[in-house]
A and B are shown apart, each in its own frame.
Chain A
Amino acid sequence: MSLTNKVIEVVSSSLKIDKEKLNEKSGLGDVVKWDSLNHAGLVVDLENHFDVGFGFDELDKIITIEAIVESLEEKGVGA
């Protein structure tokens, strides 16, 4: 499974959104339920699932699936 699909799985289960409604361009504010209340919980779920820590300087960037994948790749997380 590609990393993008893995991230979509985590986003889907964390935010309770159908996987079909998500693609790599989806992000905070674009999808119902991906809002300010749920986004913070998603960041924690992503850190736990992939066993990584996002840097404080990137918290304003990881707001789309594409950006999350990019950050995980930089941290050495593979498909």
Chain B
Amino acid sequence: MNTILDSTQENNIKYFDGSTDLSHKDVLSVSRNLTDICYPNGNEEQKGVCILVDRCSSYIATILAAWKAGLFVVPLNTASPIQKNIEIINKIKPAVVIVDDINEASFDFPTVTKSELFSEQTSKNELTNFRPLRPSDIAYVIFTSGSTGEPKGVVISCESFKSYIDWTARNFSEYSDLKRLLLTSELTFDITMGDIAFALAFGTDIGVAIQNRNIPSILALIMRFEIDILYSVPTTHLTLASFSQQKRGADLSSLRLILSGGDRFPWQLVRDYKKLAPKAAFYNVYGPTEVTINCFSVRLDNRLELSVERASVPIGYCFDSLDHVLLDENSQPATKGELCVTGPQMMLGYHGDAELSESVFVTDTRIECITRKLYRTGDIGYYDNGLVYLEGRVDGLIKIRGYRIHPDEVSKTLDSIEEVDVSAVVNFGKQSDAALKAFIKLKHGSGLTVEDIEKFLREKLPDYMIPVQYELVKDFPLSQSGKIDKNSLAKRL
């Protein structure tokens, strides 16, 4: 059995990126090669693969091939600092790391290049029965920024991912005839898994935007391949819509289904798309990585009247397969409070961190006699006319370009610079234009410049975590408890 791929449209999916086209045949061949490498002695305990290759169609085909071979997947980003990737690889202890170039980095684990893996059937066997992928096996591990600043690996089971595929098949059945979707988000972000789930549900072809930060090139790809599904973070949507309004000859009319997830956005985006892509339905989808991609969704293009009463967009309704509750400060069900979710899409836990895994669940007091766990999203929600809206976080996490980050993680990196005495990083801007500002107090006599500091950060952190403003300060305002008063710093912005 293969929990993820059985009874899906996997055989019909094609993979493209403008230069390399792949099909089911390639996936099958890669699965055989992966089986030779990872399970040389037949069925064994489940193993994992880390994928560290540049964005391309092969990246996605490799994910599908790994599942076919009964492996779990850890997607990595070649644009991230190598140290961060090595840290993750060392934690996962994969059966194999897949890379573009074997000379780029050395790992303590077997490494194979993408071209070796995709070369014409190096495997001698004609295997068609692969290691089974059981419901309780792992589907993927996605690393997100933790509240302590350490990256944490969210472990999602095959059963959970399958539940998400099934929801996709039920919820979007009227879009089953759509042909091509385009991956624009980071491949390490679980929007990618959401796109793959859509393709598995309906046999949709998967395109990969190689330059996902070059929005004009995304527009060109949508036009060239007549893309009909686009699931992106709001910053991509906002920039794409704005550019398409200004660029002569821009045409988004092929779009039939637009999904926005990962952050809030203004109602104006829905209005803009209504003009740019009149045939498209626009959905807002919401969910922490810990609850397998999404757990709430709502169609918005036919609900524009809601914008008259509320400036913010709703996250909508909980999936029919899941259950939710808002808990107040005393952990009691309320009409406003922390959004908690339960059901088959709950993560297995954080990789190698039982304590942290335990801390994000709370006992559901609505039922007695048994202990049912609720996942605490950290988002504060409230109801209005049956729809759920969000209003801030219970912790200090913020979102930049769809990534959850904690400003303290940046400040911790700054503090690791020898000549930095102490630093504080605060967030400014709202919703889709959130950005960071770093306040730094240097050690006496240090000649360090802002340019030096920024260069150091670029070597250590991904670019969405790099502050856009810096200020060297002599002293910090302190709160009554003697800690740096970040509220007071934020007021200076």
Chain A positions within 8 Å of B, measured between CB atoms, are 28-29, 32-33, 35-37, 39-41, 43-44, 47, 53-54, 56-57, 59-60, 63
Q: Report if A35-B211 is in contact (Cβ < 8 Å); known contacts: A40-B242, A40-B243, A56-B220.
A: no
CB atoms of A53 and B211 under 8 A apart: no
Q: Report if A60-B211 is in contact (Cβ < 8 Å); known contacts: A35-B463, A44-B246, A53-B248.
A: yes
Interface size class of B (residues with CB under 8 A): 20 to 34
Smallest distance from the beta carbon of A76 to chain B beta carbons, Å?
18
Kindly identify which residue among B215, B223, B224, B433 contacts A36, using a CB–CB cutoff of 8 Å.
Answer: B215
Smallest distance from the beta carbon of B188 to chain A beta carbons, Å?
16
Kindly state whether residue B367 has any CB partner on chain A within 8 Å: no
Bound CA–CA A32/B401 (angstroms): 15
Binary flags per residue of B426-438, CB closer than 8 Å to A gives 1, else 0:
0000000100000
Binary flags per residue of B412-447, CB closer than 8 Å to A gives 1, else 0:
000000000000000000000100000000000000
Bound CA–CA A40/B433 (angstroms): 15
Which 10 A-B pairs have CB atoms at the shortest separation, nearest pair first? A36-B213, A60-B217, A40-B243, A59-B216, A56-B220, A40-B215, A59-B220, A44-B246, A59-B217, A40-B239
Chain B positions within 8 Å of A, measured between CB atoms, are 210-217, 219-220, 223-224, 235-236, 239-240, 242-243, 246-249, 401, 433, 454, 463, 466, 468
CB atoms of B239 and A56 under 8 A apart: no
Tell me the dominant secondary structure on chain B's binding face.
helix
Q: Report if A53-B214 is in contact (Cβ < 8 Å); known contacts: A40-B242, A40-B243, A43-B243.
A: no
Kindly identify which residue among A54, A56, A57, A60 contacts B214, using a CB–CB cutoff of 8 Å.
Answer: A60
Closest residue to A44 on the B side, CB-wise? B246
CB neighbours of A54 from chain B (8 A): 216
Closest residue to B464 on the A side, CB-wise? A35
CB atoms of A59 and B213 under 8 A apart: no
Q: Report if A63-B243 is in contact (Cβ < 8 Å); known contacts: A32-B466, A53-B248.
A: no
CB atoms of B248 and A39 under 8 A apart: no
CB neighbours of B211 from chain A (8 A): 60, 63
Bound CA–CA A29/B248 (angstroms): 25
CB atoms of A39 and B215 under 8 A apart: yes
Closest residue to B215 on the A side, CB-wise? A40
How many A-B pairs have beta carbons closer than 8 Å: the answer is 61
CB neighbours of A39 from chain B (8 A): 213-216
Closest residue to B467 on the A side, CB-wise? A32
Smallest distance from the beta carbon of B464 to chain A beta carbons, Å?
9
Smallest distance from the beta carbon of B59 to chain A beta carbons, Å?
18
Bound CA–CA A32/B467 (angstroms): 9
Kindly identify which residue among A32, A44, A57, A63 contacts B247, using a CB–CB cutoff of 8 Å.
Answer: A44
CB atoms of A44 and B213 under 8 A apart: no
Smallest distance from the beta carbon of B481 to chain A beta carbons, Å?
34
Smallest distance from the beta carbon of A66 to chain B beta carbons, Å?
16
CB atoms of A35 and B216 under 8 A apart: no
Bound CA–CA A28/B79 (angstroms): 13
User: Which of B210, B213, B217, B242 is the most central at the interface, judged by chain A CB atoms within 10 Å of its CB?
Assistant: B217
Smallest distance from the beta carbon of B246 to chain A beta carbons, Å?
5
CB neighbours of B236 from chain A (8 A): 36
Closest residue to B79 on the A side, CB-wise? A29
Pairs across A and B, CB under 8 Å, 21 listed: A35-B463, A36-B212, A36-B235, A37-B433, A39-B214, A39-B215, A40-B216, A40-B239, A40-B240, A40-B242, A40-B243, A41-B243, A43-B216, A43-B247, A47-B247, A53-B248, A56-B223, A56-B249, A60-B217, A63-B211, A63-B214
Q: Known pairs A36-B236, A53-B248, A59-B214. 13 more at Cβ < 8 A?
A: A28-B214, A32-B454, A32-B468, A35-B213, A37-B433, A40-B240, A43-B216, A43-B247, A44-B246, A47-B247, A53-B249, A56-B249, A60-B214
